[in-house]
Chain A
């Protein structure tokens, strides 16, 4: 019932926005279309925020369009439309791994003039900036981010583990006290999330996933990382169910109180701390563990705002204004407070409004600073599917990590050779 009402309301809202927009348009206004994914929750505050842009820019006729929520469906839509030469892609939100690919394909405007790389590096976190920069040019501006981190049960373990060995020991102690508990939950299904989990383990073992601009899958550290993940399953530290788990399966198990540790994204925090959650008040979070005890980098996710490559000058300037508006400090504060979106701008974490209104987000700064993008290569989005299959085979135990990685590397190299 609630859902139906919310749907009607949002439909009504959309209809009214676009109608008033069209009627209020002065003649000669620059039409501008923003395509973005639904932000969840009530779209009201976001639209109210966009109205502020409309008031400040009466010469722009801004309309919005929501994209499919599933990232791979959205990508397919983008690729089909952009390759087909669609001309209604003015400002659009792209996933963190698409920027190099779309830039290489020539679909994104080079924004280095309006958003100089040096300034971006100063104001934004390093991971997101790296993800939108290809060969020194900026092709999108970070909007908000996502990052892998470790959740733990404060009532079951005394502290967050810093190393993999410590994670295993702490989990086993808790499991010895309560045999029904699972030790460490992560996402092992064959999908993009598996790549994130494995890359995190690679970084945690001191490895890299990109070498001299090429995707590096078959490295010594990757072999160790895959062995570690595989051993976690075969030794019983992680239940067998992780091989078919994505975010939600593991989040539910952790929230039901059935696990000690969980690797997941920041959205989990609001869920486990919600009223009625069985583990409310018993959950802590920390950076991922690593081999040496240094905080392990989490995989970077999230969305960036890009501008279409083929806009006429007036629309291009309006688009850059909109991107600047939506990626401003104020916008990030708004998104953090209203939609729990993790800011890509450094200063937002210290903003008093965020510190008071969303202390969890403020506390995420060290994790967000350490976040690393998946290989920033035009070929990554194309190769990721082939990588997933082989990583899955290794995690499941169908193939030895050495063999799986060699097979993945062979396909990646074949795709990359120029």
Chain B
């Protein structure tokens, strides 16, 4: 009993911090989402689930969800494929090479997005010189893919690093045994390395898809969600509703919806992760 009390006392600060910085704001957002709240006009009144009913009929919300989902699916797949390639190459490379590959990850997103915005610039951009005639950020068809390119460029090193750690945890004996059994390199990779890498891959998927689904900074700096809201993700829609339209009630509803989506995605990944072996 004494030990139990001691354990509770030791855990209390962590629980308090977690409650204060994670649970309380989420609950506050849920509370706000049940109100009509225009802060600057001092309008605040209870509306129950009206905001959520509006959400269900909100075509812009639907577009934002599918934009976020598309961004996540394409960006994370590309990052995983490229990251795996880079990780395998890195296994042979030296420390300096590894550090160099990490560089895009080290640059703050806002800075690298600004840099890419200049590369994409339709008048002066380098990409315009290479492939003229494409207005990368100006056309709704290409803008989202431009944003995906920036995200892949930036986050592939992170995925590569996670996978590299996984690769290095694979015992050398297993690979040797496979080779002794006469397996060719491709067979070794697909039948031994990849299955053993599964936990690392799932971890990378978990981290990246949660991050990508609520992407904000890269897209906001590149396009602010335009043109024609074609790059508007859930986070950007929520931000604009909160900060530009000053609608804290519906903005919170959008934030809660984003939270619910990310939570669901996270739970799915955790189930998959938990089922390993």
Contact = CB atoms under 8 A, between A and B. Distances in A.
B247 interface: yes
Interface stretch (A53-61, A366-374, A392-400): A392-400
Interface stretch (A1-9, A34-42, A158-166, A380-388): A380-388
Contacts of B240: 385-386
A180 interface: no
A389 B227 CA distance: 8
A351 B97 CA distance: 72
A378 B224 CA distance: 24
A105 B39 CA distance: 9
A303 B137 CA distance: 31
A414 B227 contact: no
Contacts of A104: 41
Interface in B239-276: 240, 243-247, 250
Nearest to B244: A385
A190 interface: yes
B230 A398 contact: yes
Interface residues of A, number: 31
A382 B228 contact: no
Contacts, number: 77
A314 interface: no
B124 to A, nearest CB: 12
Most buried by B among A83, A383, A398: A398
Given A378-B41, A389-B60, A389-B232, A190 B244 contact: no
B225 interface: yes
Contacts of B60: 386, 389, 407, 411
Contact of A389 (B41, B226, B247, B250): B226
B245 A244 contact: no
Contacts of B41: 104-105, 378
- Chief secondary structure at chain B's binding surface: loop
A241 interface: yes
Contacts of B250: 414
A415 B244 CA distance: 12
Contacts of B43: 418
B21 interface: no
Most buried by A among B43, B59, B137, B232: B59
A396 B228 contact: yes
- Chief secondary structure at chain A's binding surface: helix
A27 B153 CA distance: 62
A244 B135 contact: yes
Contact of B226 (A79, A83, A392, A410): A392
Contacts of A385: 240, 244-245
B226 A383 contact: no
A221 interface: no
Contacts of B66: none
Given A79-B40, A383-B245, A398 B54 contact: no
Nearest to A79: B40
Contacts of A243: 138-139, 227
B38 to A, nearest CB: 7
Interface string A171-187: 00000000000000000
Given A382-B245, A396-B140, A414-B54, A241 B135 contact: yes
B40 A101 contact: yes
A393 B244 contact: no
A189 interface: yes
A190 B229 CA distance: 8
Nearest to A249: B123
Interface in B14-48: 36, 38-43
A386 B245 contact: yes
Nearest to A385: B244
Contacts of A398: 140, 228, 230
B229 A244 contact: no
B122 interface: yes
Interface in B128-183: 135, 137-140
A135 B74 CA distance: 52
Nearest to A418: B43
A410 to B, nearest CB: 8
A233 to B, nearest CB: 13
Contacts of B224: 190
Interface string B66-106: 00000000000000000000000000000000000000000
A382 B227 contact: no
Most buried by A among B38, B39, B230, B244: B244
Interface string A59-101: 0000000000000000010010001000000000000000001
Contacts of A241: 135, 138
Given A79-B40, A410-B57, 14 more contacts: A83-B39, A105-B42, A190-B224, A243-B138, A243-B139, A244-B137, A244-B227, A382-B246, A389-B60, A407-B60, A414-B250, A415-B245, A415-B247, A418-B43
Interface of B: 36, 38-43, 54, 57-60, 122, 135, 137-140, 224-230, 232, 240, 243-247, 250
Q: What 9 A-B pairs are tightest by C-beta distance, nearest first?
A: A244-B138, A190-B226, A389-B229, A393-B228, A392-B228, A105-B40, A385-B244, A396-B228, A382-B245
8 contacts: A190-B226, A243-B138, A244-B122, A244-B135, A389-B225, A393-B229, A407-B59, A407-B60
